[in-house]
């Protein structure tokens, strides 16, 4: 069972507007949120909400790979 959270943000990968908390079973058998987030669209796991919606920085772009 996973709760889906709707947001005003969009996944930077697929544009989905909802995510789920990643839940895992702790050693004591209790289900706990791991603090990570899973996109409901592309199913990618993100370490933080910000990482989920924040567009990739383009500072690392290789300008040589740019046409022109
Ligand atoms: Zn996504």
Residue-wise pLDDT tens digits, 15-38: 999 999 999 999 999 999 999 999
5 CA from centroid of ligand 1 (Å): 13
Edge-to-edge order in the sheet of strand 31-39:
4-6, 18-25, 31-39, 45-46
pTM: 0.72
62 CA from centroid of ligand 1 (Å): 25
Q: How far apart are CA 38 and CA 54, in angstroms?
A: 14
**In the 8-state DSSP scheme, what is residue 14?**
T
How does residue 41 score in pLDDT terms, banded at 50, 70 and 90? very high
12 CA from centroid of ligand 1 (Å): 7
16 CA from centroid of ligand 1 (Å): 5
Conformation bin of residue 29: beta by default, left when phi > 0, alpha when psi is -120 to 50: left
**Is residue 5 predicted with pLDDT exceeding 80?**
yes
């Amino acid at each position: 069972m996973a709760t889906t959270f709707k947001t005003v943000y969009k996944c930077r990968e697929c544009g989905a507007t909802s995510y789920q908390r990643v839940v895992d079973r702790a050693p004591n058998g209790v289900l706990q949120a791991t603090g990570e987030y899973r996109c409901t669209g592309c199913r990618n796991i993100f370490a933080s909400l910000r990482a989920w919606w924040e567009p990739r920085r383009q500072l690392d772009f290789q300008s040589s790979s740019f046409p022109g």
